[in-house]
């Protein structure tokens, strides 16, 4: 139920192309990343994806000209199948963003628990604390929404792009 809101996609595509043809198609759609990823990104890319291909696998992300920390990293592996190839794709957040968001949302969640405890067992709602008492709840809500929309918006674009690049149908 909640899986559709998590910043994670696990997909399987089927293509009539061979493994070698698919890897070549992916290589034609990517170029190497031009920056480390911090600071202003004034680079423009001639291809829609940046990343690398190794053996029968690839690790790519969309080449965008704006900042989105929740841009999915797409890891795929190509396997021979009866009538073509099967491509297993995982889209996920970068590790540093995952760690940061777990720590940040974990701290905000603890603050929410503290506020809830105060509301239930201590004084309850007081006019002295007022609106400020609910800031952790807003931070938790907006942090979660930011992750979901930042990731899912980009992953939807990549799902369609993968179908086109791989000349494949999404089967799962």
**Does residue 67 share a domain with residue 42?**
yes
**Does residue 86 share a domain with residue 105?**
no
Report the SS3 class of residue 12.
Answer: strand
Angle between helices 95-121 and 135-166 (to 10 degrees): 150
For residue range 9-49, what is the model confidence (pLDDT) as tens digits? 999 999 999 999 999 999 999 998 876 555 555 567 889 99
Contacts 24+ apart (CB under 8 A), 141-145: 143/101, 143/104, 143/105, 143/108, 144/105
**Does residue 45 share a domain with residue 126?**
no
Query: Is residue 151 domain-resident?
Result: no
**Does residue 108 share a domain with residue 24?**
no
Least confident residue range of 9-13, 78-82, 101-105: 78-82
**Does residue 76 share a domain with residue 33?**
yes
Give the predicted TM-score (pTM) of the model.
0.84
Full residue range of the structural domain in which residue 107 is found: 97-141
Query: Is residue 148 domain-resident?
Result: no
**Does residue 126 share a domain with residue 90?**
no
**Does residue 35 share a domain with residue 22?**
yes
CATH number, domain with residue 55: 3.30.530
**Does residue 121 share a domain with residue 60?**
no
**What confidence score (pLDDT) does residue 25 get?**
93
């Amino acid at each position: 139920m909640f899986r559709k809101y998590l910043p994670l996609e696990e997909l399987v595509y089927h293509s009539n192309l061979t493994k070698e043809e698919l890897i070549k198609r992916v290589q034609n759609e990517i170029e190497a990343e031009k920056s480390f990823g911090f600071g202003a990104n004034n680079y423009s890319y001639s291809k829609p994806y940046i990343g690398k291909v190794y053996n029968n696998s690839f690790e790519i992300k969309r080449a965008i000209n704006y900042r989105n920390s929740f841009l999915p990293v797409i890891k795929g592996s190509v396997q021979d199948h009866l009538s073509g190839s099967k491509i297993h794709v995982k889209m996920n957040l970068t590790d540093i963003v995952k760690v940061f968001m777990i720590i940040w949302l974990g701290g905000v969640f603890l603050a929410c628990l503290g506020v809830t405890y105060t509301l239930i067992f201590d004084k309850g709602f007081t006019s002295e604390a007022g609106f400020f008492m609910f800031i952790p709840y807003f931070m938790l809500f907006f942090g979660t929404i930011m992750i979901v929309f930042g990731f899912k918006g980009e992953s939807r674009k990549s799902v369609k792009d993968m179908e086109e690049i791989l000349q494949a149908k999404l089967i799962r």
